[in-house]
Every structure is written in structure tokens, then in C-alpha cells.
Amino acid sequence: MVIDLFDEQRKKNLYQEKSEEKKTIGIVSFDLGDEIIGIELKYILEIINLTNITKLYKVPDYLIGITNLRGQIKPVIDLKKFLNIHSVDHRNDSQEKKGLLLNYEEFDAIVVVDSINKVEWIPEEDLREPPDTTPDNLKEFTNFLVYTKSKPIVVISGEKILNSDMWNQYKEE
Amino acid sequence: MSLKEFLKQIGTIDKERILNKEEYKSEISDMLNRMSLSLTLYPNLCGFLKYLALIVKSSDSFKMDLFMESYSDLIRIYGKQKDFNVNSDKEFEMLNQKLALFSEDDSISNDKKIIYSSDDSQEIESFDYSELELTLQDFIDEMEAMLGHLENDILNLESADAVKINTIFRCLHTIKGAVGMVKLVNAQRLAHIAENLFDKIRANKIKPNQNFEDIFLECVDRFKIILSKIKRRENPVTNVDDLVDKLQYLEMSGGKLPVEPVNGDKSVSKNDKQEQALPDKDGESMSLRVDIGKLDNVMNQMGELIIEKIKLEQQYLCSKNFILELRNVKQEFNKKKINESLRKDMVLGFIERFEKFHNNFSNVIDEISRSTMNMQDSVMKIRLVPLSTIFNRFPRLMKDVSKKVRKEIDFQIMGAETEIDKGICEMLFNPLLHILRNSVDHGIEDDKEERIKNGKKPAGDVIIKAYYKSDKVVIDITDDGAGMDEEKLIAKAIEKKIVSADEAKMMDKKSKLMMIFQPGFSTAKRVTDLSGRGVGMDVVRSTIEKLKGTVDIITEKGKGSTISLSLPLTLAIVRILIFSLKEDILAVPVYNVKETVQIPASDIHEANGKPVMNLRGEMIPLIYLCDVLGVNGFAIGENISIIIVEVMDKQYGLIVSAFVENREVVIKNIGNLLKKAPFISGAAILGDGEIIPILDTVAIMNYAKQQGKKSIKVSKPSPHKTASVKNKKKILVVEDSKIYSNQIAEILAGAGFETDIAENGEIGLKKIKSKQFDLISVDIIMPVMDGYEFVKNLRKNKNYELTPVIGLTSMKEKVDKIKGFEAGMDEYLTKPIDIDEYLRVVKKMLEIS
């Protein structure tokens, strides 16, 4: 379902770009505890239903493990823990996890989120600097803030997540 | 093309149209060019046609007149002489000279005089990579292949046969085309001139001599420089004037070299020469030339698989029908119309049919599994390339080497057709070259007379030979030189402080020979151009080990040496041992596994707070994998499964829950983000999609080592932990040999400790009562009371329950370490004493840093 929506929005965007020449930015918004967070569409390759995750050892708890995505192995990150968002987990483990496959340059990883809402198309001029009130744990990763009809969304950057210092110890061989 | 056809075509040229139509002009130009290529028998005519082809395109009216005039000449000569032959070809010579004068600035050539623009300003100043990005990889591949062939073929040019000459000619031609394609004008000019010269050699007009070989090799080098510049995305424009001059001089003089540079560009060319074709930094190139037969193989197997898929679908239909029938029968049965015996018959009939179906089905499954196996095999083979791809580069390099060190070398290659993974193949070049260089530089005797005296032929044999041995590829590099003298090697190693003299005494011949692979070891007395390149034999070994291979040396004094490399066919597919650890499934690569054992729990001993086991008299440290990985709730049962892992010449036992299986897998990395995941070196994906992490055996060993050190601190706290460092610690040395006891006392005194010496265990026991010592160093084998007895008695004394004890044994003595640990020793050290190590251990145990 979500993936279909995703594609349709992409087409819509293409059409929009041609007809109005007004630049819009696609943002996938999702729940993370009590927060609504967004990530720019350009960092997202795919939406994934996670089934089998193989755990790793002696890694921080935000690194859930690795999974097999059509023969390629991808790391799986618990985004809530990565961003230090505390909340009561309503889901149980048997429930299927939803993940977004993020990509930036040669790095990719699947981030697990609570539930994916929708893709929002925001005109570029509506992007706002994140306010000073942005929580510290999010500040580091936040790109900008957008106001939709319902609520402001903190948009975090895929680049900042995948290029975070937290990975330095694992990146180099 | 025959002359007749030629005349026919020449006759069809429409003079009127040439003057008026631009398209026609280029059409004629192409036609003339084509003709010139097919009439190679008549070089002057060829040149003439080439000129015409060039002039015809010009819009200059003067040149058009020239063309018309020449065209008439052409027709005239042909009309005059019905039987055109080589003699009449000469008539064109004069005409060519005339045309050459007029078209000098047009950068064309004929066979007599080469008029190529040598004006460097016309050369593109900066090379535009963005424009060529798509073709560049093809270009690099092609150039590499061609230069490889060329380099090899040009060697021994003097004795080359017609076939070889032709091959070289074709290579040069291809190179010319390739550099032309990427618009490297200078390089194209060089290729062109070299090609022309070769054309003459081909036609037996010039007899090649050694000078030709040298110059052509220089040309190859120049092309390599250009290629390496391109690979590094630098500006590849390179000056070639010096070589062009040399080639032309060579051509004119019939094989003599210019005594001094023909023109003043020498200084520029010298600079160019210094920039050698650098080795590629990235190592493996990303494309692969594949033998078409291999791909056909894969295609064939694919075809078979598809047929089997169809068979499988048929079986599926069968089973579907079967179920339908069974449902019908069920309904019939329900109607109760059928009597008992009929029912029985029907059931039996079904059983029979089902058995048949089952047989067919299992046949199909068999076929599919066989096909997929074959398929896997063929696909893997695509990655394999013959070793000749690197071996072919050696003859040339060996020639240079032998020239430089002035030794006559007879270099032979055997088994170059042996195939190995492309990735491995490329990594092998530098190590092999280094070994070969060493063979020439150090292996073959410096003095020819010495060889003759020993009944060898004057030229030294150096042979590189590759062959398969079970599932490995073996590469032997053999020389018939002086052989290695292990005593000289070990003396050198001692001198360089790689080993101590005492350690050296314990070593066998092989370990001594292996010294050449130690970092910092080089037997070359003089630093030559060859051996002083910074690549040592230690790098050779580490490269080979990185490729999961092994190195061996076989040598006989006076007869020569062989260095033997054994390598896996491919790195992509690896056999792993899968095991379980509580509920987790993990694996280790089989090449790291020495053996697997199951022992009763009672066979695990404690030594120095660390678990060990006795494997056929050897003490193997054990590692609880669950502790390393932080897996909770691991309980030891009656029988313990242990994997004996061997890495970097060290062994340890890995305690796991159970062995699962042993199978071949494709190893994958776990993404760029997690290149260095803790304790995991990669992962395999099994048929059901499950991921199995593969352990990093080295990381586990290092971790366990560090943990071991920590655990000593935690588990055996010194009773005098709070004592200040200023208070001199008291150490008792129990040692029967005066030499050692004095040495140890000296070391300890030097480090600020107070020492006391006891000659044997009994005296030691008396001494501990008179004074409280902080640490005791005890020799194991002593008269009156030995070390074991001493420590056992020591531990009975309440004041010495926790005092650290270091046991000392000589390397030669095979003492039972486990017995020592059980008696209560904390650490073992071997004699001769390594001062630093001894002090380190003492300080660690006393917790002084």
C-alpha cells in the first residue's frame, strides 16, 4: 500500500515540476514515539517490511543487526534509539517492522520507524530553519522544519545520519 | 583488391561532381583511403592515394587543381601500362614527392617520408575526461592487453618469425587506433611511426637488431606512462619527439642508434622517462575480459536449467491432477457404492501411481541440483583468468633486471595457462616480481666462474611455474643459484635483533629460512636499484596471507632455491564451519580451523585464571565465545565442543554450543557502514535467505588476550595493592643456576626492586617465613625441591595465598605447564629471559605501570 502511494507521489511530483516549474521537496513522514519526523525523499530508496534480522554482537543498542535484502546485506538501525527518543514501545516483537532504506553516497542502512504516514510535497520556499527549541538530540541531525496542515515536522537529514561520527568506528577497515 | 577492380573504381570518379558536391568529396576520400589500404603491394601507389584522399577534401581551389592534375596522372600511368607491376609503381614516387611539397602542413604521411605535425601547440593542452568517460575503460582494457602482448613479443625480436612480426604489427595498429580514439595526437604519431617501421620489417626491407628491440621497448614504456596517467586521471599528453627521432634514425640507418640526440628535445624526454608507469593504486580493475567459451558454458547450463524448470512445472501439474482425482475418489467413497475389495484396489493403484510420481519428481530434483552445481561452477569460472595475464609481463622485466645486475639469466615460464581469480591474479604481480627479482639478485651467483666451477651452465635458470594441486593453485619460483644458507640468514636475523641468539638455537631449519619474511630483514649487502624498492619479503608474505595463501621455501645449498606459493582458486567462495552458540548460528572460515574436538568438561583446566586444554601434549588456550560476544546464559554441558582455530601461527580453542555443518558459501561484506563490525568479518546468506555472520578469528584472539590481562588484575589482586610505589617491593628469586639468578637480581635491582635469592625450593620456603615477599620468581627444575613442590607448599602458607608467582622454564624443557598452573603459579615465562617482557610481567602482577 505504502509503496504504491510512494510511486504515485513521485509521478505527481514529476508532473508538477514540469507544469508549474515550482520546486517542491518530497518528504516521507513517520511516527517515532510521540514525534512526527520526516526524511527527504532523495535519501530514501525503498520502504521495507523487515522480517528476519540477524543480530550483531558488542554493538550499541541502536544497531539492531543486519538483514538480507534481495541478496545484499544491510545494517538495520533503530532510529528511535539512534536519535535518543524515549517512548513506550507499543508494538510487540512479532509485529512486522517498517523500515526505510536510506542511502547517501556509498553508505546505506535501513532505519526502523514506528509507522510510515505519507509522502508530503512541500514547496521549497516553505522550508524553515529549525527553531532553537528543537530538542538537543534531534538538533544534530535536523535539516529544516516544515509546517504542514496538521503539525510541524522536523525533517532530519539522511546524510547526517549516515555520516554521523557514531559510525566512524565501524566504517574503516 | 585486385588491380582490375581498382581501375574500375578509379574510372567511376565523377570529376564534375567533385568540384560541386561536398558529400561526394568525402565519399571519394573514403574510397581512396580504402583503396590505399588494400593495395599494400604497391607502397608508392598507396602513398599517392593517401595524398589524393587528403587533398580531395580540401576546399582550397589550388588543391583541387592539384587533385585534378594528379588524378589525370594516375589515369595516364594506368592507361599507358596495361600490366601494372611493382616497377610501374616507381612512377608514383616522383609524383608523391611533388604532392608532399604541397601538402606538408596537412599532417599526412607516405611510406617514404613521414610528415606528421610535430607542432606541440596543436596537441590538446588539457585532456577532457568527461567527454571520454564511457569509452575510457574499454580503452584502458585494450591498451593493457595490447601492451602486454607487445612487450612479450618484442623480446628476442631478432629471431622473431613472420607470425610474431605480424602479431606485433597488428598490436601496434590497434594501439594506434585506440590512442586516436581518445584523441592523443602525440601518442598516435608514435604508434604510427612504429607501425610503419614494423611494416618494413614485415616486408623484409629492414632486418631488426638489438637496437630495434630496445627502442621498441622504450616505446612500450612510453605508452605505459600515458596509460598510467590516464588511469590516474591526469593530463596524459606526453612528449614523444625523442622516440620519434630515434625511430626515424633507426629506419634510415638500418639499425644504428643516433650517437647523440637528433634534436634538442632530449632534456624534455628525460623528464618524461623518469616518471615511470606507476602501479595502480586501486589494485583490481573493475572490468574483466571473459573468454567467450566460458560465457557459452553458462548459457548452456542456463538452458538446461530452464528445461528442468519446465519438467518441474509438469510435475507440479501432475500432483495437481492427482489431488483432483483423489478428491473425486473421496466423494465416491462417501457415496458408499463401492465395496471393500474395490476400495482396496483403488487405494493400491493410487499408491503405485504416487510412487511413480515421487520417483519422477525426485529425478527432476536431482537434475536441478546437479545443474545448479554446474552453474555455480561455471559462473565462478568466469572470474578466473589465466596467470599469463601477469606472467607475460615478466620476461621483459626479467631482462631489465638481468641487465642491471649483469647476470645472464635464462628465464622460463611454465603453466601460464593456469587460471586463478582475477582479484587474486592482480594482487600477485608485485609479490611475484619481488620474488623473481630476489632470485636474480640474491639467488643466482654473482660470479659466472663460480657457476661453471660447480658444473652449472653460465646462464642462471630462473623458472616460474604454476600448476593446480587439489583445489589450490601453486606457483613455484625456482632458481639454480647458490641456495640459501640458513645459518647466514639466522646470523643476520640476530644482528638485526629480530631474534635473540638463544631463541635462534631452538629453531629448526625451516624457521630459520622463514626469517627472510620477517619485517626489517634484508640480506642484500648492497642496496641495489632492484632490492631497494621498499617492498620487502615481509610484504610478500602478508599479501599472500591476505589472499588466504601460504608460502614455503625449499632450498639446497649450492643447487638453488624454490619459493612456493599456494593460493586458493577464488576468494569469492569459501568453505565455512557453521556452529551454534546458544540460539545463535555463526560460522568460522574453514581455512582458519585446524580441527574440531569434543572433550568432557573435566578436561578443561584453569591456568592463570584462564581456561586451557591439553591437545596431544600441547597446551591450547580456550576462549568462551559467549563471553567475547556477550551472549548470556551459556551453560557448559557434559561434553564441550571446541573449534581449534589457527591464525597467525597461533592456536586457540573456541568453545561453542554445537557444530552444525560444513559448507561452501559466497562471502559478502555487510555494507560500507559496517565494514568493521565487532568480531564479524563478513556474512554468508544461506539458501533460505538466512544470514550467518562469519567470525573474525584474529579480532577474537586479540580481544581474548586483552581480557586475559584484565582478568588477572581483577581476579588476583595483590595483597599489597595500597602500598605506595616508593616502598620497595620485595621479590624472591628461587633459582638454582647462578647465572640466571644473578641476571634476574640485576634486572630487578635495576628496576628498583629489592631482591633475595634462594638456591632451591627448600631454602626458598625458609626465606619466605623470615620476610614477606611481594612476588616470587621460581625456576621449575631445581635440585632438592623443584618448582612445583615449592609453589604447592608456598600456597599452604596463609601469607602467600595470593602472592603472584612467576614460573620460569627453559624453552628446551617440555614441562607440564598445566601441572604448574594447578600447583598455583600465575604466569609462565621462558628462559632465556627477555628483560622487557620479564619486567612487564613483574610490574603487571604488582600492578605498577
- pLDDT reported for residue A95: 63
> Which pLDDT score is estimated for B533?
46
* 8 Å CB contact of B676 and A54: no
- Assign residue B157 the CATH number of its domain: 1.20.120.160
For residue A117, give how far its alpha carbon lies from the nearest alpha carbon of chain B (Å). Answer: 27
Tell me, what's the pLDDT at B478?
92
Residue of A nearest to B684 (CA): A73
Is the CB of A74 less than 8 angstroms away from the CB of B629?
A: no
Please report, for chain A, the start and end positions of each structural domain, with discontinuous segments joined by +: 40-123+155-165
CB–CB contact A54 B685 (8 Å): no
Question: What interface predicted TM-score (ipTM) does this complex get?
Answer: 0.82
The C-alpha atoms of residue B12 and residue B18 are separated, in whole angstroms, by 12
Across B108-117, B200-209, B329-338, B669-678, least confident range: B108-117
Which one of A56, A69, A165 makes the best mutation probe of the B interface by having the most chain B beta carbons within 10 Å?
A56
Cβ density class B350-387: b for 16+ within 10 Å, e for less:
eeeeeeeeeeebeebeebbeebeebbeebbebebbbbb
Kindly state the percentage of chain B with pLDDT values over 90.
4
Report d(CA A24, CA B420) in Å as an integer.
52
Task: Kindly write down the DSSP assignment for every residue of B403-425, as one continuous string.
Answer: HHHT--EEEEEE-TT-EEEHHHH
pTM exceeds 0.80 for this model? no
CA–CA separation, B107 vs B738, rounded Å?
Answer: 91
Per-residue HEC secondary structure of B558-571 comes to CCEEEEEEEEECCC
Chain B CB within 8 Å of residue A168 CB: no
Of A55, A171, A173, the CB nearest to B673: A171
Which of A53, A57, A101, A163 best probes binding to B when mutated, by most B CB atoms within 10 angstroms?
A57
Identify the residue whose cell numbers are 619481488. Answer: B434
Helices (H), B290-339: 292-335
Identify which of A58, A109, A173 has the shortest CB distance to residue B673: A109
User: Cβ contact (<8 Å) for B629 and A173?
Assistant: no
- The rounded distance, in Å, linking the Cα atoms of B604 and B825 is 17
Q: Do B673 and A107 touch (CB under 8 A)?
A: yes
Q: pLDDT tens, B207-259?
A: 777 778 888 888 888 888 888 888 777 777 777 778 888 887 777 776 666 55
Chain A interface, best mutation among B578, B656, B674, by max A CB count within 10 A: B674
- Which 8-state DSSP code applies to residue B280? P
A170 to B676: CB separation less than 8 angstroms, yes or no: yes
Instruction: With H, G, I as helix, E, B as strand and everything else as coil, classify residue B783.
Output: coil
Q: Do A108 and B672 touch (CB under 8 A)?
A: yes
How close B694 comes to chain A (CA, Å)?
11
Quote the pLDDT of residue B586. Answer: 92
Taking the C-alpha atoms of residue B107 and residue B540, their distance in angstroms, rounded to an integer, is 50
In a domain, B329, yes or no: no
B489 in the same domain as B410: yes
B448: Cα separation from own chain's centroid: 34
Average pLDDT for A122-131: 79
What's the rounded mean pLDDT across residues B535-550? Answer: 79
Judged by CB atoms closer than 8 Å, whether chains meet at A56 and B676 is answered as: no
**Band of residue A6 on the pLDDT scale cut at 50, 70, 90:** low
> Are B436 and B361 members of one domain?
no
Q: Are strands B680-685 and B650-656 parallel, antiparallel or unpaired?
A: unpaired
Which chain A residue has the Cα nearest residue B677? A170
Q: Which has more pLDDT, B198 or B652?
A: B652
Indicate whether B88 and B166 sit together in one domain. no
Q: Hey, are the CB atoms on B673 and A56 less than 8 Å from each other?
A: no
Contact B690 A52 (CB under 8 A): yes
Q: Which of the residue ranges A13-27, A31-45, B43-57, B141-155 has the most confident prediction, judged by mean pLDDT?
A: A31-45
**Residue A130 · residue A139 · CB < 8 Å:** yes
Q: For B317-367, what is each residue's pLDDT tens digit?
A: 888 888 888 888 888 777 766 777 887 888 888 888 888 888 888 888 888
Strand, coil or helix: B339: coil
The pLDDT assigned to B544 comes to 86
State whether B673 and A169 contact (CB < 8 Å).
no
Helices B835-845 and B738-750, packing angle to 10 deg: 60
Q: Domain for residue B675, yes or no?
A: yes
Band the pLDDT of B563: cuts 50, 70, 90. Answer: very high
**Chain B residues near residue A59 by CB distance under 8 angstroms:** 677-678
Cis before B832 (ω within 30) = yes
Q: Which helix (H) or strand (E) holds B267?
A: helix B266-274
Pairwise CB contact (< 8 Å): B679 & A106: no
Q: Percent of chain B scored above 70 by pLDDT?
A: 80
Which residues are registered as beta bridge partners of A108? A103
Interface test with A, best of B580, B626, B670, B673 (most A CBs within 10 A): B673
The helix or strand, by DSSP H or E, that contains position B336, with its residue range, turns out to be none
Task: For residues B502 and B577, state if they share a domain.
Answer: no
Q: Which domain holds residue B207?
A: 120-274
| Amino acid type, A29 | S
Mutate which of A48, A66, A72, A166 to disrupt the B interface (most B C-beta within 10 Å)?
A66
HSE-CB of B790 using CA atoms within 13 angstroms: 32
Collect all residues with Cβ–Cβ distance below 8 Å to B776 and sequence separation of at least 6. B731, B732, B733, B734, B764, B768, B794, B800, B803, B804, B805, B806
Task: Give the up-direction half-sphere exposure of residue B560: CA atoms within 13 A in the CB hemisphere.
Answer: 18
Determine the pLDDT at residue A110. Answer: 92
Report the DSSP pairing between strands B775-779 and B730-734.
parallel
Q: Which residues of B touch A (CB under 8 A)?
A: 584, 628-631, 668-680, 683, 685, 689-693
Alpha-carbon gap, residue B581 to B527, rounded angstroms? 54
Element containing residue B651 per DSSP (H, E): strand B650-656
Task: State the pLDDT at residue A13.
Answer: 61
Of B675, B679, B683, the CB nearest to A58: B679
More confident site: B572 or B570: B570
* Beta-carbon separation of A58 and B674 below 8 A: no
Q: Do B142 and B106 fall into the same domain?
A: no
On whether residue B179 sits in a domain, the answer given is yes
On whether any CB of chain B is under 8 Å from the CB of A173, the answer is yes
- Let me know whether B362 and B375 are in one domain: yes
Residues of chain A in contact with residue B631, where contact means CB-CB under 8 angstroms, are 57
A40-123+155-165: CATH number: 2.40.50.180
Is residue B231 located within the same domain as residue B197?
Answer: yes
Instruction: Report residue B474's pLDDT band, with 50, 70 and 90 as the boundaries.
Output: very high
CATH at B487 = 3.30.565.10
Cβ-contact B644, B615 below 8 angstroms: yes
pLDDT in tens, B782-797: 777 888 888 888 888 8
Name the A residues in 20-79 with CB < 8 Å from any B CB. Answer: 52, 54-59, 63, 66-68, 71-75
Instruction: Please tell me the distance from the alpha carbon of residue B84 to that of residue A91, in angstroms, as a whole number.
Output: 95
**Nearest-by-Cβ selection for A73 from B671, B676, B678:** B671
Residue B706 has pLDDT above 70, yes or no: yes
State the Cα–Cα distance between residues B817 and B823, nearest whole angstrom: 10
pLDDT band at A20 (very low <50, low <70, confident <90, very high): low
Chain B residues touching A109 at Cβ < 8 A: 671, 673
Measured between beta carbons, the chain A residues lying within 8 angstroms of B628 are: 57
**Of A73, A170, A173, Cβ closest to residue B691:** A73
- Whether residue B702 sits in one domain with residue B757: no
The pLDDT tens digits for B69-89 are 777 777 777 666 556 665 666
B471 and B544 both lie in a single domain: yes
Q: Among partner residues A55, A75, A162, which is closest to B670 by beta-carbon distance?
A: A75
| Residue B422 CA: distances (Å) to CA of B383, B384, B568, B669, B814 | 6, 6, 12, 18, 46
Nearest CA in chain B to A71: B685
Within 8 A by CB and 6+ apart from B450, the residues are B482
Number of domains in chain B: 6
Task: Flag if A172 and B584 touch (Cβ within 8 Å).
Answer: no
Which residue has better confidence, B527 or A141?
Answer: A141
Asked if A58's CB is within 8 angstroms of B673's CB, the reply is no
- Among residues B747, B802, B809, B793, the alpha carbon closest in space to that of B774 is found at B802
B375 and B513, same domain (yes or no): no
C-alpha distances out from residue B690 to B672, B686, B812, B815, Å: 20, 5, 50, 47
Q: Which residue matches cell numbers 509521478?
A: A11
pLDDT given at position B588: 92
Higher pLDDT, residue B94 or B276 = B94
Residues of chain A neighbouring B685 (CB-CB closer than 8 A): 68, 71, 73
Q: Distance between CA B248 and CA B113 in Å, rounded? A: 10
Chain A stretch 126-165, residues whose beta carbon is closer than 8 A to a beta carbon of chain B: 162
User: CA nearest A77 in B: which residue?
Assistant: B673
